[in-house]
Structure 1
């Protein structure tokens, strides 16, 4: 799914109106109907709804929703923000509002009481805003935020910029839910906006799919449609040699568990053969914990100090629990200089790169790096804000012709072409030690099976999050551990396999 800018979204609305030969008021009615149905499915009968409407089309959405809620028998009150001029569709919906619906202009000297049992609908400004809220609008938003009512934003929390950094100290609605239309907004995927957006959902309103397809973007979401035909089905006469031989260089004294988790994930990711390059202190552990893998002795006593012959392997993953010793650094440098197969770098391999940035110039094309935000800062520089971090991500991937899996609530895959892909699976229960090791093992397995770097990243990130979701359904988020993600990788991947047949 594409992520459009605010300007592109407005252009798409207008193009749909022209292409279908409808009035803009009809498109607004679609949005209001979809929003009202969403709200009614979550409201208890008799719960009062307070709708705050601005003078533009977002306010028009709110007025239309008020009419539809009233027709459904839901108590509703409308509060209008004073303005010198209203949009034409706002005015039309103001005239359509039944006289029985209480509707009053806001007075900032005497703002309405908002009981904790009420639902507040924010339809003040939406995506049309390009500057921080001031004066009466800011006062109204602060009043809404100070209430104990449940706040639902229509399309966008008022005061939040759609695709630009938020000015310091700006006033923004703090929504519990945000309900948007057709396509998500970039702001929804960024950690700095979580306190404003809350939980979000996108509702279809029939915007022209052809127009969406032809709109150029460099931000996307990772969803099932995007993943179609990226993970081939297993061959009937395939054998272990068909599905690649992966090498994982991982583990050190006290951190052999990272190697075990990565190895188990690699195996559950479908690799045909797996060799574990672990130091001698981990040899007995991995032979017992991961009997399906081969353990490679002789590459170090308490940490990895040397490389084996790389000829047998179709992909190499390095980093989980590796440690940052000087001889591990030397082994990493040798790997970067000599490897001719796909690489996946995580954890201490990234820390070694960050501490010795000259090594970055040795990255072979299409290498996959899997940092969390702090590790990414070590590779680049501290980000001023989330949008700056995305700029750094694009520049880093382009310069080094690599793929970066920037981990987080909406893990973002950066590509050498400058495209960003935001994941839509996963949950807070996955914020636990070892989760990243599992992802490394899975990505290494997919690269060993000859998936392209892009396909491996997209499939791996989505399946990793989906496995976490399946685990959370059984165990709850608080009870989820990294090993539970491994257990559910098979079902998560099966959902993505390209079906055979006609």
Structure 2
């Protein structure tokens, strides 16, 4: 799967038309047929279809879908927005074809022409598609608002009308779809939380665009999927030993927060680290020895971690889960930064200390991995006006500080120092539970211990974390999922990636 901008998607269409070769009207028919087949399979086909079309190629898709539905004896009414100009050539061709069907065709040239909709209608939005570059206004905005108020099921073709592909649509008038039927690849608009209410359930339909295009025109954003992670993970060698897979350290835990430390410790070991030493407060010594007997333990304070010693011997240092926020933690982080000789992973309270002492950002070792959720990211780097600006800010800061930023969300972003953006494909809402982030920190730390680069550890880590959560949910439910379930299914996640 790929993530392409609106410009790149148009170029992919044109490349397919030229190199398959195929006429543009036939490519439109292919896309419309894919939507029609989805409608027959998943929707109540006894209901009537009301299709709203603009005069661009998205409207042409809508007209072709209308013809196919009418030909299979469905009740179809088409409403075309009329502004006094001709449509695209393919729109005009499909309009002529539709006149030979049983579909009812009407035009909307004023607000008085907007039809009454019933809750039983299935509304298909084929007004604008992905070519939009400004907010909706006038009659088009009125039609969209009317559709949203109808209370019926709304199915958007390509992208909900009013939603911009590559920039924020916050505050704009946008179709609120129940389902979105898009084509061939993800669009940036599908990956941000602010657009979730408009998209509904997303379905990516394969319409056979030319497979050579992505190879010749690599996307600006990358999709973390099984094939990418397979290319990263290396098989273990027969004559290896625990020293072959690195010695990890985790600085974690405090009074009342030892659960976070144990969760991250277990995940680190389950991710393949050869050895793990936990730097924890004395109050958590017995807890750690019992909960994670495979880990070695060093006590570095009474109720919270107060000092870091001999940290230069580790292949990776993970810092933050359950650490708490204390006055001594600023010099603690400074000491760790100075001693760190290899990889460094910072999460949770380590990020909060960084946010409180911004000068520490300048001291971060190159290729440090930060794993903030959106609020932690905001405290670190400032507010963004919308999700698209937050993505750009993450890429900017990753490049400026030469670090890897793992911005946790539904499609977690991995921003690299080279300015590359990777979005994760795995995970589910059940993972929105306390301790899930501590498990992720442990996984990334465990992978980094084995010699994977910071970007590789982050990319593979977020994928395995989400996949383990998906496997856990398949055996229980999103509601019942807890963080330790994710670790329990890490083995299955590794096995699935190897298949």
TM bin (shorter chain): over 0.9
**2:43 corresponds to which residue?**
43
Shift of 1:333: 0.8
**Structure 2 counterpart SS, 1:254:** coil
In the alignment, structure 1 segments of 5+ residues that lack a partner are: none
**Structure 2 counterpart SS, 1:202:** strand
TM-score by length of 1: 0.96
Contact 2:170/2:386, CA 8 A, preserved across alignment: no
Within the alignment, does 1:300 sit opposite 2:279 as a pair? no
**Structure 2 counterpart SS, 1:226:** helix
Shift of 1:426: 0.8
**2:114 corresponds to which residue?**
111
**Structure 2 counterpart SS, 1:229:** helix
Within the alignment, does 1:133 sit opposite 2:136 as a pair? yes
- Over the aligned positions, Cα root-mean-square deviation in angstroms equals 1.5
**1:14 corresponds to which residue?**
14
**2:277 corresponds to which residue?**
275
Deviations 1:188-236 (A, max 9, x none): 1111111111221211212122222221432122112322321112223
**1:320 corresponds to which residue?**
321
Shift of 1:44: 2.6
Contact 1:303/1:328, CA 8 A, preserved across alignment: no
Shift of 1:290: 1.1
Matches within 5 A, 1:62-77: 62-77=62-77
Deviations 1:247-291 (A, max 9, x none): 111001111110011011111111121111110011111111111
Shift of 1:21: 2.8
Q: In 2, distance between residues paired with 1:468 and 1:493?
A: 12
Shift of 1:110: 4.4
**2:252 corresponds to which residue?**
250
Q: In 1, distance between residues paired with 2:170 and 2:191?
A: 18
**1:189 corresponds to which residue?**
191
**Structure 2 counterpart SS, 1:78:** strand
Matches within 5 A, 1:86-235: 86-97=87-98, 98-106=100-108, 108-166=111-169, 168=171, 170-235=172-237
TM-score by length of 2: 0.96
**Structure 1 counterpart SS, 2:497:** coil
Moved more, 430-439 or 222-231: 222-231
Shift of 1:165: 1.9
**1:28 corresponds to which residue?**
28
Q: In 2, distance between residues paired with 1:318 and 1:467?
A: 23
**Structure 1 counterpart SS, 2:55:** coil
Shift of 1:461: 0.5
Q: In 2, distance between residues paired with 1:203 and 1:226?
A: 21
Shift of 1:92: 0.6
Shift of 1:128: 1.1
Shift of 1:167: 5.6
Shift of 1:332: 1.0
Q: In 1, distance between residues paired with 2:356 and 2:283?
A: 26
Q: In 1, distance between residues paired with 2:293 and 2:71?
A: 65
**Structure 1 counterpart SS, 2:226:** coil
Deviations 1:402-426 (A, max 9, x none): 1000001111000111111111111
Aligned length: 496
Contact 1:218/1:418, CA 8 A, preserved across alignment: no
Contact 2:248/2:276, CA 8 A, preserved across alignment: yes
Shift of 1:340: 0.3
In the alignment, structure 2 segments of 5+ residues that lack a partner are: none
**2:293 corresponds to which residue?**
291
Contact 1:132/1:167, CA 8 A, preserved across alignment: no
Contact 1:305/1:330, CA 8 A, preserved across alignment: no
Shift of 1:318: 0.5
Deviations 1:299-347 (A, max 9, x none): 1101111113124421110000111212222111111112101011000
Shift of 1:95: 1.3
